[in-house]
Amino acid sequence: MLRSRQLAQAVRELANRSATAANEIGGLLRDNSEAMGMAGGMASQSKGALARIVGSAQTTQDLVLEVSNSTQSQARLIEKVTTALVQLGQTAQENTSMSERAQSSTGDLVSQEAVLRDVIAKLRAAMIGETAGDLAQTDAEADFSGNSAGEAISPALSN
């Protein structure tokens, strides 16, 4: 009997340990199930995060393309502005050249005016013997006929 009691006691202890182990295994399975649920939620969150990252990457790619297109457009505009500035510089040089020529022509005209005034003075001196009306007519022709007066005066001086 002692042996039966000892054996019964050992069976009870074994049953208790088996029950405890079963409870622990059940707890571990519940924990594992909860962890799997959390892992599934995390996987779902990761999937969402990756989808947002892919969307952001696409948006970034679109923005980079837009910046690239804008940069190319600006480069074309800068090229046009540069061309316009070069043309403006050429026009300024042409204007400077024309201004210098006009200034030179003005100097020539002033010299020619002095020569014509001298010729008129010589003609007046040569015409002292003429009547006052003839002298007035010669003055009017010299003052108002420009080059024609100079051409008309040259033959008169050569006589």
pLDDT single digits (tens) 56-113: 999 999 999 999 999 999 999 999 999 999 999 999 999 999 998 888 888 888 889 8
CA distance 38 to 44: 10
Please give the pLDDT value at position 7: 83
Supply 70's token pair. 């804008």
Is residue 149 a part of any domain in this protein?
no
Is residue 14 a part of any domain in this protein?
yes
Is residue 61 a part of any domain in this protein?
yes
The model's pTM: 0.43
Is residue 11 a part of any domain in this protein?
yes
Is residue 157 a part of any domain in this protein?
no
Domain that holds residue 46: 2-126
Question: Does residue 36 or residue 159 have the better pLDDT?
Answer: 36
CA distance 88 to 94: 10
> Quick one: pLDDT band at residue 140, thresholds 50, 70, 90?
low
Domain count, the chain: 1
CA distance 130 to 30: 143
Is residue 135 a part of any domain in this protein?
no
Residue type, 58: Q
Is residue 65 a part of any domain in this protein?
yes
Q: What are the distances in angstroms from CA 147 to CA 20, 76, 126, 135?
A: 135, 54, 21, 19
Is residue 155 a part of any domain in this protein?
no
